[in-house]
Amino acid sequence: MKRALLSILIIVLFSVNGKDADSALLHDIRHWSNEQYTRIVIDLDSPTDFKQNRLSNPDRLYFDLRNCSLPKEIAASLPIGDSILKGVRAAQFDKTTVRVVLDLEYSESVNVFTLHEPFRIIIDVYGKKKSITPSNKEADKGIAGIKRIVIDAGHGGKDTGAIGPHGLYEKDVVLQVAKKLGEILAEEYGVNVFFTRDRDVFIPLEERTAIANSRKADLFISIHANASPKRAAKGIETYILNWTDDEEAIRVAARENAISLKKMREIQSDLQLILHDLARDNKRDESMKLAYNVQSSLIDTLKEDYRDVVDLGVKHALFYVLVGAEMPSILAEISFISNPDEEKRLSDENYRDRIAEAIALGVKGYIAPSRFAKKVNDKI
């Protein structure tokens, strides 16, 4: 396929309002990849403007970071050597500009966006999609073609997430739910399960998405516990990635993105630039179907033992952890850890296990007929 098929999916110039006069520092370049996808992350200590362009012979993309400096201790070259990128180079182009060059092997499309607090530039480079015929052994495993599921336990390590009124940490609760969910999906449904984290460790949000893409996951499920300044707030809700003007959804996204509510409102217009493409890449309709199945299963299952469970429904918000995911993906807020009663439930192993069982049943309902199918189809 001709190089001309390369498409840059968003505008080539980003402007950051209110830029400080001080120069930004580029302090790291990270990457994750497989033969069909590579994610490059450029970490900076403050926001900066940049532009991008493409050159041929040899084929390469470059990004000029304005009012930016490259410390001498930062590696000038990052070998990659997958089927998409040969490597990444960085150099001080002039006194005020750092140039980052991606040497291309082959690419069908590129998607670029920024994340904030801390500021980083995300570059997703996509290679040619390959048709993979599973072996007979693989074909016998999993449910209706779902072979790999990546489960993301929110927060971790230095990021505790929300803390309940009696000291329960969100990071601990969601890790326990995630591991139980993985156990059920693997043992009962024969699915290959991967975790973004399986212990108390900090993983950046953009790395979690990259793990799902690099693993070629069929589904991506991020698990969180909700929180609100209103102690009486309670209930369960499930999110998919999309723009929203709902103030409560914006507040939830700001907390999970670990940014201020003010910044969350500011970046909505920036992230809107890529939502059209994300809707295609994320299989938005499939994400919605998955979300409704999981939400219905959570409510119906938990109400068998906890009759006062509140159904807050399926909602949209701009969660960093879902941006760029190539597969149907959802974020489940399994209860309000800020509510004393729901914190008590979340501290109970039986309640956490029931949540994991319900999510697993919702996944099964997404890919096979279930008792939730009619309800879900009516909502969609």
Mean pLDDT of 331-341: 98
Crossing angle, helix 247-256 and helix 261-281, to 10 degrees?
90
Q: What percent of the chain has pLDDT over 70?
A: 83
Best CA proximity match to 119, nearest among 191, 181, 188, 68: 68
Tell me where in the chain the CATH 2.60.40.3500 domain(s) lie. 3-126
Beta partners for residue 165, in sequence order: none
pLDDT of residue 2: 38
Task: Record the tokens describing residue 309, joined without a space.
Answer: 């469970």
- Positive or negative, the CA dihedral 16, 20, 26, 29 is negative
269-272's contacts with Cβ under 8 Å and 24+ in sequence apart are 270/14, 270/113, 270/114, 271/113, 271/243, 271/318, 271/323, 272/243
Least-confidence region, from 11-20, 52-61, 153-162, 362-371: 11-20
Angle at 276 between CA 274 and CA 279, to 5 degrees: 105
Task: For domain 3-126, give the fold.
Answer: Immunoglobulin-like (2.60.40)
- Dist CA 203 CA 127 (whole Å): 25
pLDDT in tens, 307-326: 999 999 999 999 999 998 98
Best CA proximity match to 208, nearest among 166, 159, 246, 172: 159
pLDDT of residue 377: 57
Whether the Cβ atoms of residue 117 and residue 110 lie closer than 8 Å to each other = no
Beta partners for residue 181, in sequence order: none
Q: How far is CA 221 from the centre of its chain?
A: 9
pLDDT at residue 131 tops 70: no
Name the average pLDDT for the chain: 87
pLDDT at residue 133 tops 60: no
Taking phi over 0 as left and psi of -120 to 50 as alpha, with beta for the rest, 258 belongs to left
Residue pointed to by tokens 């991967």: 194
Task: Record the tokens describing residue 146, joined without a space.
Answer: 């779902």
pLDDT of residue 227: 98
Task: Record the tokens describing residue 321, joined without a space.
Answer: 């952890």
Confidence of residue 27 (pLDDT cuts 50, 70, 90): very high
HSE-up (13 A, CA, CB side) for residue 57: 0
Crossing angle, helix 261-281 and helix 284-302, to 10 degrees?
110
In one letter, which amino acid is 349?
E
pLDDT at residue 280 tops 70: no
pLDDT of residue 137: 46
In one letter, which amino acid is 52?
Q
Tell me the CATH class for 136-379: alpha beta
Q: What percent of the chain has pLDDT over 90?
A: 71
Tell me where in the chain the CATH 3.40.630.40 domain(s) lie. 136-379
pLDDT of residue 282: 52
Instruction: Name the residue with higher pLDDT: 125 or 278.
Output: 125
pLDDT in tens, 65-122: 999 999 988 878 899 998 999 999 999 999 999 999 999 999 888 989 899 999 999 9
pLDDT at residue 272 tops 60: no
360, 182, 149, 197 alpha-carbon torsion, rounded to 10°: 130
202, 233, 299, 188 alpha-carbon torsion, rounded to 10°: 20
